[in-house]
Amino acid sequence: MRNTLFIMLSALFVVSCTNKTRLEDECRYSKSQTSFCFWSPVAEQMLVNIYADDETDEAEQITLKKGSDNFWRATVRGNLDGKYYTVQSFQNGTWSEPAPGIFAKAVSVNGQRAAIIDLKKAVPEGWDKDQRPAMPDPTDIVVYETHLRDFTMSENSGIQNKGKFLALTEQGTTTSDGLKSGIDHLKELGITHLQILPMFDYGSIDETTLSKNRYNWGYDPVNYNVPEGGYSTNPYDPICRIREAKQMIQSLHKAGIRVIMDVVYNHTYNVMGCSLGRVVPLYFYRLNDDGTYANGSGCGNETASEQEMMRQYMIESVCYWAREYHIDGFRFDLMGIHDMETMRQIRSALDKIDPTILVYGEGWAAMTPKYPYEELAMKQFTYKMPRVGAFSDDIRNALIGSPFDHERGFASGKNDQQSKEALCFGLAGGIDYQSVADSETSNIQVPISNIQGWAGEPLQHVSYITCHDNYCLRDRIEVSAKDEDEPTKLRMNKLAQTAVLMSQGMAFLYGGEELFRTKLGIDNSFESPDSINIIPWENKQKYAELFEYYKEIIKIRREHKGLRLGSAELVRQHVEFPPTDNPSFIIYRIKDLEGIDNAKSLIVLLNGSAETVETPVPKGDYTVLAHNAEAQAIGLSKLPLDKISVAPYSATILAENE
């Protein structure tokens, strides 16, 4: 039965896909009237229920009229500001359960009803003057990922609005040791973009019982185009969550930090509990041959981005967040479930708003999607999606080992040629090494026999070692190198992040690694309590040397263009990996930088072993930027060199002086 309906639905859709009506126009408010517009090619009847408030069950039912484009419309005279609505469709002899429309922009507590509001009331003071921080060079990007609760809930954070959007509007916050916290900490660290775990309305948290300290990352979408009420100071007020989300973004922009939104269009919290499933059953999801829902997400369903209206929905949704909330980038959860054409069209649509808006995601799926593999936005096909990035599990696994075992990686003492080669691949930004090897101008001498280049340009390669998923860095090192002492583990931490920040790819850091955070060995903390997930701000004093190292390595990256050349052509021209016989030692050289950098060349030496390694370097005068687990962007020393010793589990960075 499901398959029959699906075929009918696809046929009916041919008419509607040529129409330019926007899904975003679902509810258009003015003081004199409110117009409604819902898409459904299969409904036999549709109506919108209008409620006086969020609690009463009594509703005025307005019959919608179907147009030739499969949009159902009605206009209600009068001022409906402050009222609520749901939509229902009648098909196969049954009325669907009431649901907010698929493009609700304001909702009741827990998102069961859409709210009719004047969006102008949700605009914070000065919003019309809010601007994206300048981003003259995309290679400047350093992303910092966090969850709003993780970042602010610690009693030692010095933040008043803990766990709320407003937490990231507070200026001048400090720890009990007098060190900067919150937004000032981010500025001090030197990151350019803050990636926030899902901040849209999601289903796993009861917004009426927030005092019970429920926790969830939020990868369970309910209303895609509304901020999550649990992060507002009053989830019962539809305007409050919108205004406070904008205040947070505005404050970060004033601090010079762009905001990336983690979006989860690949699945919904469930099917029939969501507007996509209630209003137009089956259409927005992929189905198995037996009519059951496909499950590439591992969450019970997967959306069908290849369907024209699902594609239009995703495009309109990201553009809405970019325009209405001034969001500066989008990280796509399980991007490999979506088709490549949708991702290309999203990139094109955002370019019309601002080409500096970032687009990247996870180039994989949790399980096998119900769609031809060669058409999916998998990591292997990133080169087919210009200016769309993908996370590199290649550099992650090379540095600290796979999350699916407890083996060491290069940075934690694995003496392995394959890890070395994979790390070189990541340092060069994931570009096609075969073309590098064939190039007459190439001096890259490390063969990458088992890795195919998948990034068309190095900034499509998101260089990272940890994110919210799996172990944080301290815990990952603990499970693989548990017999090492803490000073050694700190050196491993520094070495791993140095490789990330020296990579030609886009740099990505998981929040709290600079403070040596731990989740007490829990590798999937999506619903663990705050006691597991919070960033321990007292560690900023305890591990002050680690924080200073991160800050200086970020500064070194920013001040040396040779570490972020920005194009595959330049990487092939300037990057070389002189061969070494030691699988735990890498020489990474960026040469002939006259006119590009303020150094003639840069040499990054990475020692992933427990032994000191002495290596020759081209004879010259050098500024030592990092050495023996210390770093200083202005230089630790200046001296002539023709060889240097690299301490165990550490990086040495040399800038050859003009």
pLDDT for res 6: 46
DSSP state of 266: T
Instruction: Give the confidence band of 18 by pLDDT, cuts at 50, 70, 90.
Output: very low
Instruction: Give the confidence band of 439 by pLDDT, cuts at 50, 70, 90.
Output: very low
Averaged pLDDT, 460-470: 98
Q: Cα(168)–Cα(517) distance, rounded to whole angstroms?
A: 20
Beta strands in 402-531 (DSSP E): 461-463, 506-510
Q: Catalytic site residue 362?
A: yes
> Is residue 447's pLDDT more than 50?
no
Neighbours of 87 (CB within 10 A): 28
CA 14 to chain centre: 34
Q: Cα(117)–Cα(543) distance, rounded to whole angstroms?
A: 48
> Is residue 584's pLDDT more than 80?
yes
Half-sphere exposure (Cβ direction) of 460: Cα atoms closer than 13 Å: 24
Give the domains, in start order, of the chain with CATH numbers: 2-122 (2.60.40.10), 140-394+427-461+497-562 (3.20.20.80), 576-656 (2.60.40.1180)
Which residue reads 């050098």 in tokens? 622
- Cα separation values, 375 from 165, 294, 451, 547, Å: 38, 17, 21, 42
Residue 489 backbone phi and psi in degrees, to 5: -65, -35
User: How much of the chain, in percent, has pLDDT values that exceed 70?
Assistant: 94
**pTM for the predicted model, two decimal places:** 0.95
Average pLDDT, the chain: 94
User: How much of the chain, in percent, has pLDDT values that exceed 90?
Assistant: 91
Query: What 3-state class would DSSP assign to 36?
Result: strand
pLDDT digits (tens, 9 = 90+) for 104-155: 999 999 999 999 999 999 999 999 999 999 988 999 999 999 999 999 999 9
Q: Catalytic site residue 621?
A: no
Query: What 3-state class would DSSP assign to 293?
Result: strand
pLDDT for res 442: 45
Structure tokens at 226: 């509304």
pLDDT digits (tens, 9 = 90+) for 27-64: 999 999 999 999 999 999 999 999 999 999 999 999 99
Structure tokens at 450: 């088992």
Per the CB < 8 A criterion, the answer to whether 204 and 527 are in contact is yes
Q: Going by C-beta distance under 8 Å and a sequence separation of 6 or more, which residues neighbour residue 367?
A: 295, 296, 297, 298
pLDDT for res 112: 95
Q: Cα(70)–Cα(41) distance, rounded to whole angstroms?
A: 5
| DSSP per residue, 406-443 | ----GGGT---HHHHHHHHHHHTTS--HHHHHH-TT--
Q: Which of 362, 394, 416, 484 is catalytic?
A: 362
pLDDT for res 658: 83
Instruction: Give the confidence band of 20 by pLDDT, cuts at 50, 70, 90.
Output: confident
pLDDT digits (tens, 9 = 90+) for 380-431: 999 999 999 999 999 999 999 999 999 999 999 999 999 999 999 999 999 9
Q: Cα(281)–Cα(40) distance, rounded to whole angstroms?
A: 9
Q: Which of 24, 207, 244, 333 is catalytic?
A: 333
